[in-house]
Amino acid sequence: MQAPTGKKASKGTVSIEDFQGRLRLRWRFEGKRYALSIGLPDSKVNRKVAQQKATVIELDMASGNFDATLKKYKPHIQSTSQLTVVTLFEKFMDSKAKALLPTSLDKYRATLGYLKSLFPNQLASTIDVKDAEKFLEWINNRGVSPIVCRERLILIRAAWQWGIKQQYLDTNPWIDMVSRVRVPPKQRPKPFSSEEIKAIIDAFRTDQYYSYYADYVEFLFRTGCRTAEAIGLRWKHLNDDCSSVWIGESLTRGVRKSTKTNRERTITLTPKLQQILLARRPANPDPEGLVFTSSKGGAIDDHNFRNRAWVSILQQLGLNYRKPYNTRHTFISHALDKGMNPVEVAQLTGHDVQTLYENYAGVVNSRPRLPEL
């Protein structure tokens, strides 16, 4: 295989190079630079194909027949005539499956179900803007919430973009559909008060069925970490005296990945949390062992915990239901309301600072206050 030389093509000539494993043509004409992907992997045979295309372009430039739109030179898209909407999205799902959490993959499956309902046998190449508008009208008539509708359209748009990159398609009729869905602002769930936090932790500690979750719940409330981060915490992530913890992984229904933002952070724990962790640590802990486990010693199942333990405790206390993830919202709200620097809060919770400001501006202590009249 010929490696790219890195040299510029002479005026009127077209060079062939390997770009990310695929052959690409590059040239200059009338003061402009052009690049055209051949869509083929780098090999001796494919370089001959690329050379034939390059020769055509060179002859057109010399004869005054050059097509500046490049449509004349683009490779013919393969398999488009037989690729249905459903098959395209299934291929897109397969390409993403290994990198997705089960919860995210569920959204892809739901989107696929919608496409099967409206476009069961339609070819992907025949979908146009009118079809996309028809889908938007159809999904709205089904009573799907705006936020879910928007999520589905984002995935479909991404599938078509992927199809174009894979040389299956040449246009994306879904580009403008997402902007047509207006998602109304939604009030955040009310954070738990300090009294409610204490009541919940105490209730877990004294409950005959769910007391083994007490340390896990207190850790969530007092660190603000994501539930999957706490579930995936291993003993090797704590230092020897349990005074600090490294958070860089998450565990969701058996799938271990990096954190949601793919960032790691180290948190210095409070003396209270340090004592809780020291008390539960085995004499010779397995570095790979989980810090918080279910009653049977396995990983905590977030659905099981929420539907049984969490709901039960809130009902006992007569508290309005809020998801376990609200422990994170509660931590951030209390930290900001006490005047803690938002940048420091973001460092503790693994947020992007701008995202934290956007989502929690209403609880920052320096927010504008109405005057007494």
**337 and 250 together in one domain:** yes
**68 and 91 together in one domain:** no
Residue 185 lies in a domain: no
**356 and 217 together in one domain:** yes
Q: How long, in residues, is the chain?
A: 373
Q: Which helix (H) or strand (E) holds 194?
A: helix 194-206
pLDDT (tens place) for every residue of the chain, 373 residues total? 444 444 455 567 899 998 777 788 999 998 898 988 887 778 888 888 889 999 999 999 999 899 988 888 876 544 445 789 999 999 999 988 777 766 788 899 999 999 999 999 999 989 999 999 999 999 999 989 999 999 999 999 999 999 988 878 888 999 999 999 998 887 777 899 999 999 999 999 999 999 999 999 999 999 999 999 999 999 999 999 999 999 999 998 888 888 887 889 999 999 999 999 999 999 999 999 999 999 998 999 999 999 999 999 999 999 999 999 999 999 998 888 888 888 888 889 988 877 777 777 555 554 555 566 6
**224 and 328 together in one domain:** yes
**118 and 259 together in one domain:** no
- Residue 320 has a CB neighbour count (10 Å cut-off) of 9
Half-sphere exposure at residue 313, Cβ-oriented, CA atoms within 13 angstroms: 26
Residue 189 lies in a domain: no
Residue 333 lies in a domain: yes
**130 and 145 together in one domain:** yes
Number of domains forming the structure of the chain = 3
- Residue 337 has a CB neighbour count (10 Å cut-off) of 14
* Phi and psi, residue 77, nearest 5°: -70, 125
CB 108 within 8 A of CB 100: yes
3-class secondary-structure state, position 29:
strand
Residue 231 lies in a domain: yes
Last residue of one domain, picked from the residues 138, 158, 180:
180
Angle at 204 between CA 202 and CA 207, to 5 degrees: 105
In angstroms, the CA 142 to CA 180 distance is 17
**229 and 293 together in one domain:** yes
**234 and 299 together in one domain:** yes
In angstroms, the Cα distances linking 112 to 101, 123, 170, 267 are 17, 15, 21, 40
In angstroms, the CA 74 to CA 336 distance is 55
3-class secondary-structure state, position 260:
coil
- Residue 249 has a CB neighbour count (10 Å cut-off) of 17
3-class secondary-structure state, position 336:
helix
**198 and 159 together in one domain:** no
CA trace torsion 19, 25, 26, 31 (10° rounding)? -150
**262 and 328 together in one domain:** yes
Last residue of one domain, picked from the residues 158, 180, 202:
180
pTM: 0.63
Q: Which two tokens stand for residue 188?
A: 């955040």
**Residue 244's domain spans which residues?**
194-363
In angstroms, the CA 21 to CA 25 distance is 13
Q: Which two tokens stand for residue 362?
A: 């209403």
The beta-carbon contacts of 127-132 under 8 Å, at least 24 apart in sequence, are 127/85, 127/173, 128/173, 129/173, 129/176, 131/173, 132/173, 132/174, 132/177
37 - beta bridge partners?
A: 24
**102 and 229 together in one domain:** no
* Phi and psi, residue 27, nearest 5°: -165, 170
Residue 5 lies in a domain: yes
3-class secondary-structure state, position 58:
helix
Residue 162 lies in a domain: yes
pLDDT tens digits, one per residue of 228-244: 999 999 999 999 999 99
Last residue of one domain, picked from the residues 13, 47, 75:
75
Q: DSSP code of 256? A: E
Residue 370 lies in a domain: no
**175 and 205 together in one domain:** no
Residue 90 belongs to a domain with what CATH number?
A: 1.10.150.130
